[in-house]
Structure 1
Amino acid sequence: MNESKIYIDFNEMIACDLILLSKTDFKKDANGTTIELKEGMKIKVYMDDKDELGKTDNLIAHGTVEPNNSGAFKTCKWNIRIDKNGIRHESEL
């Protein structure tokens, strides 16, 4: 099974490895397909970015979907726990 690639705002970090993901059970992936989020689901997230020359070099991370039990941002239902590789630029992969 392929990992879904979902747009995210990396500025919405709760902790160094935990980011707000969605207020609902559904999120559109990079292809426009609606994905149903489930606990334990492995996904890839990305955010638009550019390198020092202005060339597109998106930020990418892999992680696991989990319920928002952080106590913060109670309107958010789902978070993503970023794996040990952290957030990187596509050019680094």
Structure 2
Amino acid sequence: MEKPRIQVDCNELVQPDVVLLSKTDLVIDATSASVLLSEGLPVFVYEYNCYADGTEEYLFAEGNAELNDVAANGEWSKPAKWCCRIHDNGVRVEIT
């Protein structure tokens, strides 16, 4: 089974290896499939940016879903229920 591909905002990295994932248990992935998040679910997270000069930037990582720990991630992360704990290879960037 392929990992769900979930769009995130990489500006919402709350720790070097944790990004906010969702405010709800149910998310829609890149294929428009509904995904029910659960503790430890393997996910692929990504962000796509296209700049005025035509440059396209892809940021992506693999990790596992985990419940947001507001005490560890900061009070500003409180609206998010879920985070993604990014694997050791971190967030990768591809620019075209």
TM-score normalised by L of structure 2:
0.83
Q: Percent identity?
A: 38
Distance 2:59 2:10 in 1: 9
Pairing 1:1-93 to 2, within 5 Å after superposition = 1-49=1-49, 54-71=54-71, 72=74, 73-90=77-94
Identify the structure with the greater strand proportion: 2
Identify the structure with the greater helix proportion: 2
RMSD: 1.8
Distance 2:67 2:9 in 1: 17
Q: CA deviation at 1:90?
A: 4.6
1:57-81 Cα deviation digits (max 9, x unpaired): 4111000100001323222110001
Amino acid at match of 1:5: R
Runs of 5+ unmatched residues, structure 2: none
Amino acid at match of 1:81: R
Count of equivalent residues: 90
Q: CA deviation at 1:34?
A: 1.1
Distance 2:86 2:18 in 1: 6
Distance 1:50 1:74 in 2: 29
Secondary structure at the aligned position of 1:31 is classed as coil
Runs of 5+ unmatched residues, structure 1: none
